[in-house]
Amino acid sequence: MKSIKEQTYYEILEVSPTAKDKEIHKAYEHARETFHADSLAVYSLFSEEEVKEIQSAIEEAYRVLMDETLRRSYDRSHLQAAGGQPPQKPFEAQEVSREKKTSLSFTGISFNPGEEFYRGETLRQIREKMGVELQVISTETKISMKVLERIEEEAFEKLPAMVYLKGFLKGYAQSLGLDPQKVIEEYLQSMEEAKKK
Judge whether 54 lies within some domain. Answer: yes
Length of the chain (residues): 197
Of 63, 13, 8, 6, residue with least CA distance to 34:
13
Judge whether 115 lies within some domain. Answer: no
> Within its chain, how far is the Cα of 101 from the centroid?
10
CATH of the domain at 178: 1.10.260.40
> Within its chain, how far is the Cα of 108 from the centroid?
9
CA angle 123, 146, 171 (to 5 degrees): 50
The answer to whether 175 and 129 have CB atoms below 8 angstroms apart is no
pLDDT at 187: 94
- Assess whether 87 and 129 both reside in one domain: no
- Assess whether 126 and 77 both reside in one domain: no
User: With a cut of 70, which residues of the chain have pLDDT below it?
Assistant: 1-2, 37, 39-44, 79-116
Judge whether 156 lies within some domain. Answer: yes
Judge whether 106 lies within some domain. Answer: no
Burial class of residue 5 in the structure, from the number of CB atoms within 10 Å of its CB (0-12 exposed, 13-18 middle, 19+ buried):
exposed
How far is 178 from 96, CA to CA, in rounded Å? Answer: 23
- pLDDT tens-digit profile of 155-169? 999 998 888 999 999
The answer to whether 12 and 61 have CB atoms below 8 angstroms apart is yes
The domain containing residue 67 runs over which residues?
Answer: 4-94
Among 79, 94, 109, which residue terminates a domain?
Answer: 94
pLDDT at 114: 44
CATH of the domain at 60: 1.10.287.110
Judge whether 13 lies within some domain. Answer: yes
Domain count, the chain: 2
- Assess whether 63 and 137 both reside in one domain: no
Judge whether 101 lies within some domain. Answer: no
Judge whether 104 lies within some domain. Answer: no
- Assess whether 32 and 66 both reside in one domain: yes
Is the sign of the CA dihedral 152, 158, 161, 162 positive or negative?
Answer: positive
Residue type, 193: E
- Assess whether 73 and 131 both reside in one domain: no
Residue type, 74: Y
User: Please, what is the end-to-end C-alpha distance for the chain in angstroms?
Assistant: 41
How far is 49 from 18, CA to CA, in rounded Å? Answer: 31
- Model confidence pTM above 0.85: no
Judge whether 112 lies within some domain. Answer: no
pLDDT at 163: 87
Helix, strand, coil shares, percent, the chain, to 5: 65, 0, 35
- pLDDT tens-digit profile of 145-157? 999 999 999 999 9
- Assess whether 15 and 90 both reside in one domain: yes
pLDDT at 42: 61
